Structure 1
Amino acid sequence: MKKILFLLLCGLANWATAQQKFYHLGDFKLENGQVIKDCNIGYRTFGKLNASKSNAVLVPTWFTGNSQQKSFVADPKSFVDSTKYFVIIVDALGNGVSSSPSNSTSQKNQLFPTFNIRDMVVASYKLSSEHLKLSHLYAVTGISMGGMQTFQWMLSYPDYMDKIVPIIGSPQQSSYDKLFWNLQLNLIERGNYSPEAMASVNALHQMHLWTPSYRAQNTPTTTYPELIGKLEKEAQTLNAYDWASQLRAMLQQDIYQGKTPQEIAPLVKAKVMILVAPEDQMVNPLAAIQLSKILKCPLVLLEGNCGHMATSCQSDQMIAHIKGFLDK
């Protein structure tokens, strides 16, 4: 019994303390022909690869997020249980860990090339296939911008994984999404990437994470000054150039590339389950809902007034559905 407890604690410790690792891609050519020099992709792994190498799950990071923040998905109580799966959490280009405007030595800040969501996916594929030597993945799943990357995996490498689970992402940016992302980008560019610009951008971003009703109910007017103070302090830690680089990537995001959803449907080989929040104020759910109907795949609605943060408010529901889908 003591031995079992010791092994369990060791496993939990591994989940909590997985080291940051990097794969050096060299000069990485982007879809637009530009090149990220000395490109590095950050990642963390949790759990163990089984003998048949059939239990690997790749998890791309959300907008401005990193693999350390995303490590909760590998918790045995979360939806990609690292006691069962070999979990690979990949830092997206531009997040400040993988190659980004802020950490590039030769292409600093505004000199950094413009990349897109497909470039993020290609980099993750190279990490998985070339560095980790995986010929196949069991699943790909991600939240928000991670969900956008997950949708792209579906078409970029259709035979490379068995299952796909995009969570509050979108296969194609709606006009509402583009208006929102472009407004943030304009504030940054017109504000010369200043801390003052990022204070406004962060407040705007935080406003859209939740629904108006949630904010009104959960932030009394008496505590509003505290909220603004917190957001302005948080904005001081944000890098405007990194933020803008990922905004540009999302503004271009469109898995269809001139085709219709009906035309791309036969190209999808993996089993798909899509999760959306109907009240999402940040990533409009309509395109994902439409695609779920065309693919005739399971659609999970994370109801409630938490909006984009439904993954937190309805986490038990989300975990149950994803676990059920992955464990089949």
Structure 2
Amino acid sequence: MTDHEIFELGDFAFAGGTVPDVELAYRTYGELAADKSNAVLFPTWFAGTHTANEWLIGPDKALDTSRYFVIVPNMFGNGLSSSPSNTPAPYDRGRFPNVTILDNVTAQHRLITEHFGITRLALVTGASMGAAQSYQWATSYPDMVQRLASITGSSHTSPHNRVFLDGLRSALTADSAFADGDYSELPHRGLRAFSHVLAGWALSQAFYWERVYERLGFATLDDFLTGLWEPIFANTDANDLLSQIWTWEHADIGLTPGFDGDTIAALASITAEAVALPGERDLYFPPEDEAWAVGHMRNAKLSVVPGIWGHLSGGGHDPEAAAFIGNALRELLAR
């Protein structure tokens, strides 16, 4: 992929250790205003790159590029920014250090301030792991974040969510071809198992009960799993996925320096005008989790995204959910 730019971070201290020549991949959309007041930060989600965010970006979309300058930084471990798959030895593969959400946001802060000279963000938003980064931004840099929109995500990873993530990790590493991360060829059996586990969690029970996959052109459930889900991850680097799983698993704004693990105190510190947009049937981040978070924030409201697409309601796949999210962002930006 060549449709992005690279911000050189030099020696960068991740939670798991310092790596030389670290790179942050990003793409921008629109033009930065002369007073730099129209910047929107839109981090990526698990296994996604900047292109996965483009459904909300463009003329006449919620993040209208005739008005806003949208910056989409790619998360570490996604194969574009520094990752196990693109980092030279001795930090390659399973030797790539553990990365936190805070590490991602620290790098993004350098991009925003050092490269663009931006001191205030009109909006920080993201879906899933992008939402976790958005919460971290509002916690770490409250004076920079004017508005916050969490889409199908959370301020911290719940115990139930960690069980799901352990299932993904187990599926990948159980394949003998994984070879403790030093594989010569991708562990294809593990990747297939990984995709099947993800399919059961990313969409709701109602999605399958109502056979929505048939409307998508798949005659049977097996066709849906093998024809859509398996190809998504067939050529994805397993170590990259494992790196992002660790990041997701350890997400918690309460771990921000100064809060001593107190997530409630971290939520209470957020000054941005905020809206939480959980998916109605999301199995990862159910609405109850975000209702709890909103209850501890100063200036936040809960607005549940309707539909039966579960976690994927935050990815632009369901027209009803996409329209709801777009309208919510327009309303937030208008305030």
Could you state the TM-score of these two structures normalised by the residue count of structure 2? 0.87
Of the candidates 271, 275, 281, which is equivalent to residue 273 of structure 1? 275
- Shifted more, 51-60 versus 23-32: the winner is 23-32
Q: Secondary structure at the match of 2:220?
A: helix
**In the alignment, which residue of structure 1 is the partner of 2:221?**
224
The within-5 A match list for 1:23-42 is 23-32=7-16, 34-42=17-25
Of the candidates 104, 110, 113, which is equivalent to residue 87 of structure 2? 104
**In the alignment, which residue of structure 2 is the partner of 1:203?**
196
The residue type equivalent to 2:246 in the other structure is R
Q: 1:172 to 1:50 in 2, by over 3 A?
A: same
Q: Which runs of 5+ in 2 are unaligned?
A: 179-186
- Shifted more, 196-205 versus 70-79: the winner is 70-79
Contact 1:60 1:90 in 2 (8 A): yes
Of the candidates 259, 264, 274, which is equivalent to residue 266 of structure 2? 264
The within-5 A match list for 1:104-143 is 104-106=87-89, 107-143=91-127
The within-5 A match list for 1:27-106 is 27-32=11-16, 34-106=17-89
Contact 2:171 2:190 in 1 (8 A): yes
Q: After superposition, give the CA deviation of every residue in 1:68-123 in whole Å (9 maximum; x if it has no partner).
A: 22223222232211111010011010000000011112222111111111111111
Distance, in Å, in 1 between the alignment partners of 2:291 and 2:331 is: 20
Contact 1:18 1:45 in 2 (8 A): no
- Shifted more, 61-70 versus 217-226: the winner is 217-226
Q: Which runs of 5+ in 1 are unaligned?
A: 1-16
Of the candidates 289, 292, 301, which is equivalent to residue 290 of structure 1? 292
Q: 1:261 to 1:102 in 2, by over 3 A?
A: closer
Q: After superposition, give the CA deviation of every residue in 1:230-267 in whole Å (9 maximum; x if it has no partner).
A: 23333322211111100000111111134545423442
1:299 CA displacement: 1.1
Q: How many residues align?
A: 311
Contact 2:15 2:103 in 1 (8 A): yes
Across the aligned residues of Structure 1 and Structure 2, the Cα RMSD in angstroms comes to: 2.0
**In the alignment, which residue of structure 1 is the partner of 2:232?**
234
- Shifted more, 172-181 versus 229-238: the winner is 229-238
Q: Secondary structure at the match of 1:318?
A: helix
1:250 to 2:248 alignment: yes
Contact 2:56 2:326 in 1 (8 A): no
The residue type equivalent to 1:317 in the other structure is F
Contact 1:41 1:123 in 2 (8 A): yes
Of the candidates 128, 145, 148, which is equivalent to residue 161 of structure 1? 145
Contact 1:54 1:136 in 2 (8 A): yes
Q: Secondary structure at the match of 2:6?
A: strand
Q: 1:293 to 1:64 in 2, by over 3 A?
A: same
The within-5 A match list for 1:183-202 is 183-192=167-176, 193=178, 194-202=187-195
**In the alignment, which residue of structure 1 is the partner of 2:184?**
none
Contact 1:170 1:284 in 2 (8 A): no
The residue type equivalent to 1:143 in the other structure is A
The residue type equivalent to 1:242 in the other structure is D
**In the alignment, which residue of structure 2 is the partner of 1:215?**
208
The residue type equivalent to 2:325 in the other structure is M
**In the alignment, which residue of structure 2 is the partner of 1:6?**
none
**In the alignment, which residue of structure 1 is the partner of 2:309?**
306
The residue type equivalent to 1:324 in the other structure is E
Contact 2:148 2:272 in 1 (8 A): yes
- Shifted more, 152-161 versus 294-303: the winner is 294-303
Q: After superposition, give the CA deviation of every residue in 1:250-287 in whole Å (9 maximum; x if it has no partner).
A: 11111113454542344212211111113101234433
Q: 1:265 to 1:198 in 2, by over 3 A?
A: closer
Could you state the TM-score of these two structures normalised by the residue count of structure 1? 0.89
1:166 CA displacement: 1.1
Q: Secondary structure at the match of 1:160?
A: coil
Q: After superposition, give the CA deviation of every residue in 1:141-168 in whole Å (9 maximum; x if it has no partner).
A: 0011101111111111111121111111
Percent of aligned pairs sharing the same letter: 26
**In the alignment, which residue of structure 2 is the partner of 1:315?**
322
Distance, in Å, in 2 between the alignment partners of 1:18 and 1:161 is: 30
Q: 1:239 to 1:265 in 2, by over 3 A?
A: closer
**In the alignment, which residue of structure 1 is the partner of 2:182?**
none
